[in-house]
Amino acid sequence: MDKDLEKLIKMRAMSRLGGGQDRIDKQHAKGRMTARERIQMLLDEGSFEEFDMFKTHRCTQFGMEGKEFMGDGVITGYGTINGRVVYVFSQDFTVFGGSLSETFAEKVCKIMDLAIKNGAPVIGMNDSGGARIQEGIESLAGYTDIFLRNVMGSGVIPQISAIFGPCAGGAVYSPALTDFSIMVKNNSYMFLTGPKVVKSVTHEDVTVEELGGATVHATKSGVIHYAAESGADAIEYIKKLLSYMPQNNMESPPVIECDDPPDRADEFLNQIIPENPNVSYDMIEVIERTVDHGDFLEVMKEFAPNLVIGFARYDGYPVGIVANQPEFLAGVLDIDSSVKGARFVRFCDCFNIPVVTFVDVPGFLPGTVQEYGGVIRNGAKMLYAFAEATVPKVTVITRKAYGGAYCVMSSKHLRGDINYAWPTAEIAVMGATGAVEVLYGREAQKSDDPQAYLKQKEQEYAEAVVNPFVAAKRGYIDDIIEPSRTRFRITRALQLLKNKRDTNPMKKHGNIPL
Ligand code: HXC
């Protein structure tokens, strides 16, 4: 018995060493943690239960016979984060560059299957040279087995990916299929093909960082949701994200004790809207002044900043927040912001997280760039997402809600449950200046003083149309509220909607304009 135990202890120790101390040192020299260190940092101390630590590859070609490392380049298992179960895989770059073999994929699939069956999130930590070159088709099959599980698990359990090193070729599609992806700045990259192939095909000179670094994907492509400063920062962000999510689509999101009074008024909000409608203000400040303790976890902060999305709590209840940001492009909706908002609303809807929407939107961005890029098709995504969402939906219009953008931003007409407006709200087909130009432009030319004539008409139009009372009279707005009481009104609305049940017509699935 002692001998057997001794062997087990030895084997475990060997497996834990991955590709060996030399390669671990190399990993550290690159400023990266090892796969095990990442798991240790992510999970509650002592909670990790590892699977398949003795598994090895079955490849017998290209010098692979007898060249085995236990675990075969990926560490898999489950553990807890703040006491809640999560399944984890962490690619081990010290073993064959973390490359994916047939057996590696089997390990990942095993924990994904368990996660889906048991209703717990999956966190994938990527650091890999891609498909194991010695194997070929088996590794391609393995990747596809993982993709299938990413899709089957979508909307059933939350899936989060972190990219801590290389992630190239088809391997990028697993993170792309998950709900949230995080990269580490200056130390990780994601692309379909690297700079060398790019150069030979398109003659374009580009560095790894310019092609697929964290900053590029956080600001330009919108592939990732957070560009972390370090591996530790990425792990912290994952933990924060998870704290707002239920374990699966059958559960409610976790409610925490809250000592921030729900009826806390904030007088500053009564003055935050500038006198001049063309002057901006910071919508994040509005959000932070209303949510519990001012805690707002922004998602995709640097991509399409004209729309703000993220998580917060009201009286301890998690919500997803969607808000126009007047500080960028006056808060217009465009292609990127619509895609960003739509996917976020759909995530919240999958996982029973209520959506609170703050509206200050002058409309959709006009012009050929947007039209050629398909702003019609892409803007429709946002509309679709809000319309199909059956979670509680609370909307606050702070200032502008013009044209199609009014309809899109969780309006009453898209099954908004509680729709509030501040007294400063301007709800109309378009702003008074544009409207009188169309209606009275020609007439103005005939008058003695066209400018004064238009000004007068503008004032009349604004008084008659551009205010929240017209919408409130028709019940499109449930109440016009005092801005300082916004936190209280939202919290109460969410309490009212706690047991909301709503459904969509029976269908296999809808056909969102992709
Ligand atoms: C087998 C691999 C490997 C791979 C790296 N290694 N990638 N082994 N298959 N895909 C091994 C190396 O041989 C080396 O082994 C060790 O891992 C560390 O790699 P280095 O090259 O020394 O590290 P580094 O200099 O940091 O470079 C990392 C790298 C480079 C940029 C990722 O290794 C690389 O370019 N690898 C190949 C990437 C690739 O083309 N993959 C296939 C993509 S196609 P030793 O024993 O020397 O330590 C693909 C299709 C997926 O993935 C399709 C899905 C549908």
pLDDT digits (tens, 9 = 90+) for 302-340: 999 999 999 999 999 999 999 999 999 999 999 999 999
User: Which residue's alpha carbon is at the smallest distance from atom 29 of ligand 1?
Assistant: 129
Tell which atom from ligand 1 comes closest to the C-alpha of 128. Answer: 32
User: Which residue's alpha carbon is at the smallest distance from atom 47 of ligand 1?
Assistant: 96
User: Which residue's alpha carbon is at the smallest distance from atom 23 of ligand 1?
Assistant: 97
Confidence bin at 293 (pLDDT 50/70/90): very high
Q: Tell me, what's the pLDDT at 170?
A: 81
**Cα(303) to centroid of ligand 1, in Å?**
30
User: Which residue's alpha carbon is at the smallest distance from atom 32 of ligand 1?
Assistant: 129
Q: Tell me, what's the pLDDT at 150?
A: 98
Q: Is the pLDDT of residue 441 over 90?
A: yes
Q: Is the pLDDT of residue 1 over 80?
A: no
| Stretch 117-125: mean pLDDT | 98
In whole angstroms, what is the distance from residue 448 CA to residue 238 CA?
Answer: 65
Mean pLDDT of the chain: 96
Q: Tell me, what's the pLDDT at 372?
A: 98
**Cα(23) to centroid of ligand 1, in Å?**
14
- Look up residue 475 and give its amino acid: G
Task: From residue 399, give the alpha-carbon distance in Å to each of 325, 330, 428.
Answer: 11, 11, 11
Residue 224 burial (C-beta neighbours within 10 Å; 0-12, 13-18, 19+): buried
Task: From residue 238, give the alpha-carbon distance in Å to each of 122, 163, 241, 266.
Answer: 11, 12, 5, 31
DSSP three-state, residue 484 = helix
pLDDT digits (tens, 9 = 90+) for 65-94: 989 999 999 999 999 999 999 999 999 999
User: Which residue's alpha carbon is at the smallest distance from atom 45 of ligand 1?
Assistant: 96
Q: Tell me, what's the pLDDT at 215?
A: 97
**Cα(423) to centroid of ligand 1, in Å?**
60
DSSP three-state, residue 307 = strand
DSSP 150-193: HHHHTTTS-EEEEE-SEEEGGGGHHHHHSSEEEEETTT-EEESS
User: Which residue's alpha carbon is at the smallest distance from atom 31 of ligand 1?
Assistant: 129
Phi/psi of residue 457, each to 5°?
-65, -35
Helix axes 432-446, 450-464, angle to 10 degrees: 140
**Cα(205) to centroid of ligand 1, in Å?**
22
DSSP three-state, residue 139 = helix
Q: Is the pLDDT of residue 188 over 80?
A: yes
Q: Is the pLDDT of residue 294 over 90?
A: yes
**Cα(100) to centroid of ligand 1, in Å?**
10
Q: Where are the domains of the chain?
A: 2-242, 267-425+467-496, 430-466
Tell which atom from ligand 1 comes closest to the C-alpha of 19. Answer: 48
Fold of 267-425+467-496: 2-enoyl-CoA Hydratase; Chain A, domain 1 (3.90.226)
| Stretch 495-513: mean pLDDT | 97
pLDDT digits (tens, 9 = 90+) for 452-487: 999 999 999 988 988 999 999 999 999 999 999 999
- Sign of the torsion formed by the C-alpha atoms of 411, 494, 347 and 344: positive
Tell which atom from ligand 1 comes closest to the C-alpha of 166. Answer: 32
Q: Which range, of 116-120, 190-194, 385-389, 404-408, averages the lowest pLDDT?
A: 190-194
Task: From residue 92, give the alpha-carbon distance in Å to each of 16, 32, 35, 100, 247.
Answer: 11, 11, 5, 10, 26
Q: Tell me, what's the pLDDT at 431?
A: 86
**Cα(93) to centroid of ligand 1, in Å?**
9
In whole angstroms, what is the distance from residue 252 CA to residue 500 CA?
Answer: 12
User: Which residue's alpha carbon is at the smallest distance from atom 5 of ligand 1?
Assistant: 97
Helix axes 231-243, 35-42, angle to 10 degrees: 40
**Cα(163) to centroid of ligand 1, in Å?**
15
Q: Tell me, what's the pLDDT at 137?
A: 92
In whole angstroms, what is the distance from residue 304 CA to residue 298 CA?
Answer: 13
Q: Tell me, what's the pLDDT at 253?
A: 98
The first and second tokens of residue 148, run together, are: 């299938």
> Is the distance from CB of 402 to CB of 375 less than 8 angstroms?
no
CATH of domain 2-242: 3.90.226.10
pLDDT digits (tens, 9 = 90+) for 363-373: 999 999 999 99
The percent of residues above 70 in pLDDT, for the chain, comes to 100
Hey, which residues are catalytic here? 169-170, 404-405
2-242 and 267-425+467-496 have identical folds:
yes
Question: Residues lining ligand 1, CB < 6 A?
Answer: 96-97, 99, 129-134, 140, 143, 166, 168-171
Which of 99, 102, 103, 173 has most ligand 1 atoms within 8 Å of its beta carbon, as the pocket-test mutant?
99
Tell which atom from ligand 1 comes closest to the C-alpha of 30. Answer: 26
Count the Cβ atoms, other than its own, within 10 Å of residue 147: 15
Q: How much helix, strand and coil, in percent to the nearest 5, is found in the chain?
A: 45, 20, 40
Which of 72, 133, 147 has most ligand 1 atoms within 8 Å of its beta carbon, as the pocket-test mutant?
133
The first and second tokens of residue 141, run together, are: 């099959």
| Pairing verdict, β 317-324 and 307-314 | antiparallel
Q: Which range, of 156-160, 263-267, 332-336, 444-448, averages the lowest pLDDT?
A: 444-448
Confidence bin at 350 (pLDDT 50/70/90): very high
Q: Tell me, what's the pLDDT at 423?
A: 97
